[in-house]
Every structure is written in structure tokens, then in C-alpha cells.
Amino acid sequence: MDKSVIDWLSKSAKEKADAIAVGDPDKEYTYKELFNNSKKVALSILPYVEPCHAVAFYMEKSADGLCGMLGTAMVRGFYSFIDVRAPQSRIEKVLEILEPDVIVTDKNFKDKAAMYAEKFKVVTIEDLIDGADIEYSINYDCKDIKDLGDLRLKLKQRQLEALDTDPLYVNFTSGSTGVPKGVMVNHRSVMDFIDCFTEIFGINDEDIMGNQAPFDFDVSVKDIYSCLKVGARLQIIPRSYFSAPTTLMDYLVENKVTVLVWAVSAMCFVSIMNGLGYKVPESVRMIMFSGEVMPAKHLRVWQKYLPDAKYVNLYGPTEITCNCTYYELSKGETLNDTETLPAGKAFPNEKVFLLDEDNTLVDTKSIGVEGEICVGGTCVAVGYYKNPERTSESFVQNPLNNDYPERIYRTGDIGKYDENGNIIYVSRKDFQIKHLGQRIELGEIENAATSIDGVTRACCLYDHKKKKLILCVTGSLNGKEITSALRDIVPQFMVPNKVNVLEEMPLNKNGKIDRTALNAKFIAL
């Protein structure tokens, strides 16, 4: 039985040794090279990384970065990629939670990462792959390791002790208290999902998957581990290409990409910038998208230029390992601008259901009746790293089951069934929203705003129709000053599109900020 994603890597390295496993604009590795480089990383970091401890990655995604991630998994550590564009204060919060045994960076970010060297061991991926740290650890750092043979023996023992419940990665999402939440996912959750994912969509060793998502975003999990599972090729697309449509389309065509698993925002970028009008990547046979509701007008653009491709809408939060439902459009199926693409039905081995406000099951035949989307199965994440309180709030006992322990995740998303039994996403239950493909808790923006000197109260709204963040504040600063200050506190995708400075904040009868009044005033119905 495969109990680790490393089992998949080992198998593909044996069966597809000379096939290209991963490529980026600078280099590419065969499966044999990917395995060997990952093992070099593992041997290099083994003396420093305890089982089930964190290794943080401070770098952009790359072929070398993948070697680092897999090397981390080889030593039973878990990886966590850090958004290098995030404000330093947010990065420091993430590192404070992770307490990584090692921070891995690369030559491009080495100088920036040096600021964390006082608290953590910082190494470059280039040195790890070159084996420089292996020699150092043997000669200087680890007195209990006598030679390379001893190091290899310890690595083998570490792998023999591995469990499928070992954590594989932690991805951070926005937290309402201003502290990011680290969603921890184990090997078994990923392997069970990818087994189904690759089988349902027929992903095979001839596919070339065009990776759009950064490695700190769980959309990338489908790209990476689908390729490892079946021996396909992962073609990494740099972040910068998604602001240069001609470069992006040239890259897709040149690399003969066959499968796209992209965020909706990335697909919209291509359609808005008329990328397909410039050049059509005719090798693409399947396009899957997720992250937020796909606008019908943008989907139609893709369907116009790639009419024979398969289109699939995927739904699911980070906490349930990528996705829990899918909806495959039939050939020629299009939507008008008023229609909503279904989130679809559950993946095999996943339980997806709706609970109303009384925790009563919403029947699939109760068309249009709304309920909270809940998910059960091995896909459910371990929980929020070092955050038992938030974990216990969302990862709960199934209220429909009083007979034995059954853990489910309450997504906070509201859904309903259509006449075909598909789930239709309606909205967030609370003030957690999706914006530019990123999940955001409005409370984090509010906390950031109120942390600024000169701001007394803050309330953040979201205009779902116009896809805009609207911040309402009271205080002595103007909108431009607040926006400028926020850019130093939160990631760019969380900076409000508009700031309204009010004389006073409306309050409801309980003394809380009256969001209803603010919505009525600043968001057109």
C-alpha cells in the first residue's frame, strides 16, 4: 500500500526515469533527476528537521522548489510555502506559528531571507541540491552522523517509520483575528483525492499540466501530485506571465500543455486581455477551474476558441483537500450571464451534504432550499496548525450521527440543490469571501485598518456583483492615506478597492457596527 506521496515519486522514477517530470523557464528535470535531487535535499536537511516538523520555503515556485518540497516529505517533515510578496509583518506571523526547523530560499531571495537567520536556520535550495549542506552537517554540525552512509541509513529508517497520516503541507489562509490560519493536510488526504481526481478526468503519463497556482495555494496540489501519481509532466508557469498575456500564450503553445487546472481569476485575465485572440494553445484538452464562481461571459470566450476541450467546475475549500465536488459541462453546453454554473456533485469517497439552521439534513429533492455545505471523509484536513480553538469550531462531530465519532468540516458556504441534484453555491455564511481567487476574511482587513494610527473604527464590505472590497472607517486620515498604510500590512489582494471615511459608524441596537446599514448605503442592490 502506498502510504506517502514519495511512494508515487519512487514508482514514477523507476517506470518513467528519463521522462520529463517538471520544467520551468530555466530548467527541467527527468523523473530520475527529480528523485535524486529530492533525495539530496532530504539528506541535507535530515540532521535539522524532526519528524512532522515544518520546513518553510521563502522563494517563488520552481523546479528546484519542487525538489525541496519532496525532499521535505522524504524526511517526514511538512512544507509550507510563504508568499514572498506579503508584508513582512504577515510573514513574521506565519513563521511565528510554523516555527520551522529550516527555511529554504533560493539565490533570488537569499538576501531577503537573511533577515530571518537569527531565529531560524536558512539555507538555499541550490546548496541543498548540490549537496553542500550534506558535507557541512557531517563534518561540523551533527556529531552523531559519522559519514554519508550513516546519513543514508538514518533517512531509510525515517522513511520506514512514515505514516500516511503524517502531515504533508500547511497552507495559510486569512484569519478573522488578524492571525493567519494554517490548514494542515496529511498524505492520506492528498493521495485519496488524487487517486479519484486522476481517474475521473483521465489524467495520464502523456499529459503536460500547466501549473498556474503558486505553491502556497492548494490548487497547485492537483498539478503536482497528479503528475507524480501518473508520471505526467508538470510545466510551471511563472507568476509574472499572468500579467503578460502574449508571453503566457506563447509559453502554453511552446510547451504543448494539455491540462489546465487554474483559478477563475487567471482564466478571466486571459479572456479580458484577449490572450486567446493572439494565440490558441490547441494542445489543451481539458480546462478545470475553481476559487470563485466562474463568470459565464468569460467561460464562453474559452469555449469559443477551444470548443473541443473538456470544461470542469471544481468546488471546495482548502480544509477538505482541494475540492469536494465537480461539475463537468457537456460538449456545447453554454451559460447565459444570469445562470450560475453548478458546483456539482461529490467526488467518490467524499460525503457532501447540506445542513439547515437547525442542523437538519436538506434533501437533494428539496430544490432551492438553502443549507450550509458540509463535508466528510478522508479528504477532511487535520485542522488548523497550533489553533485548537478554531479547529474545534469548524471541524466538528456530524450532528446527524449520534452513534459513533464522525468528523466533518463545516465550510461556512451556503448552497442549494438544482433539479439534477447538483449543489449550487449561493454565498458565504459569514463575512469570509472569495476575491481574486483568494479566500479573505473581512475581519482581517478590519483589524489591519484599525491598527493604523488615525483610524478608530473599521468595517469592510464586499460587493459581490462588482467584485470590489469596500472599507468604511472613522478617524482622522483620508482614504489615500489609509490605502497606502494598508499596503504595508496586508497582501495586495486584500487592499480595498475603495475607502469611505465616515463621520461616525452606524451601530445596531446591540452596539455593534450596523453592516446592514452600510451595505444599503455603499453597495448597489
Q: What is the CA radius of gyration of the chain?
A: 23
Distances from the Cα of 70 to the Cαs of 76, 158, 185, 284, 369, in angstroms? 10, 14, 15, 27, 44
The C-alpha atoms of residue 354 and residue 424 are separated, in whole angstroms, by 11
The C-alpha atoms of residue 151 and residue 134 are separated, in whole angstroms, by 9
Q: Which domains does the chain have, with CATH numbers?
A: 3-7+31-162 (3.40.50.980), 432-522 (3.30.300.30)
pLDDT at residue 512 in the model: 65
Beta-sheet pairing, 259-263 with 208-211? parallel
The C-alpha atoms of residue 88 and residue 14 are separated, in whole angstroms, by 42
Phi and psi angles of residue 137, each rounded to the nearest 5 degrees, phi first: -65, -35
The C-alpha atoms of residue 356 and residue 360 are separated, in whole angstroms, by 5
The C-alpha atoms of residue 147 and residue 484 are separated, in whole angstroms, by 54
Q: Determine the residue type at 306.
A: L
What pLDDT tens digit does each residue of the chain (525 aa) get?
899 999 999 999 999 999 999 999 999 999 999 999 999 999 999 999 999 999 999 999 999 999 999 999 999 999 999 999 888 999 999 999 999 999 999 999 999 999 999 999 999 999 999 876 665 554 445 545 556 788 899 999 999 999 999 999 999 987 766 788 999 999 999 999 999 999 999 999 999 999 999 999 999 999 999 999 999 999 999 999 999 999 999 999 999 999 999 998 899 889 889 999 999 999 999 999 998 888 888 899 999 999 999 999 999 999 999 999 999 999 989 887 767 899 999 999 999 999 999 999 999 999 999 999 999 999 999 999 999 999 999 999 999 999 999 999 999 998 999 999 999 998 778 777 888 888 787 878 988 898 898 988 889 999 988 999 999 999 999 999 999 999 999 999 999 999 999 998 887 644 467 888 899 999 865
pLDDT at residue 82 in the model: 96
Q: What is the pTM of this model?
A: 0.85
SS3 10: helix
Cα–Cα–Cα angle for 441, 445, 450, rounded to 5 degrees: 140
210 contacts 222 by C-beta, under 8 angstroms: no
The C-alpha atoms of residue 4 and residue 11 are separated, in whole angstroms, by 11
pLDDT at residue 516 in the model: 82
